[in-house]
Structure 1
Amino acid sequence: MKDMITHIYKGLECFLLECSAALVRRRALGGWRSDPRQLREQRRDEFRARKVAE
């Protein structure tokens, strides 16, 4: 049970970090007009880098 709660917590933490990073990126790249493909590639690269770091 404790492992499941820890797993859910880590997933939620990762999701929130992803959301905040996306907001920062969007602001840095000029708002909502940014290229969605470029944002998707950046998110994928950052996600892979975090997985490797873990």
Structure 2
Amino acid sequence: MLHWALVFLVVALIAAVLGFGGIASAAGGIAQILFFIFLVLFVVGALMGLAGRSR
């Protein structure tokens, strides 16, 4: 999922450089949403790993 967030970030940067504001905005929004989903899943996975290790 982090890979897709980075792909959309690159698409947003390229679109912004070329002047496609709508496409850059949409791709940037998608990249931001995917990044936060990845971040939440990473934190949940880390907490589950720590909880499982302590038992």
TM interval, shorter chain, is: 0.5 to 0.7
1:16 aligns to 2:14 (yes or no): no
- Structure 1, unaligned runs of 5 or more: 32-54
Amino acid of the residue matched to residue 32 of structure 2? Answer: I
- Structure 2, unaligned runs of 5 or more: 1-24
Amino acid of the residue matched to residue 16 of structure 1? Answer: V
> How many angstroms does 1:24 deviate by?
0.4
Cα separation, 2, equivalents of 1:26 and 1:12? 21
Please provide the CA RMSD for this pair: 1.3
**Structure possessing the higher radius of gyration over alpha carbons:** 2
> How many angstroms does 1:23 deviate by?
0.5
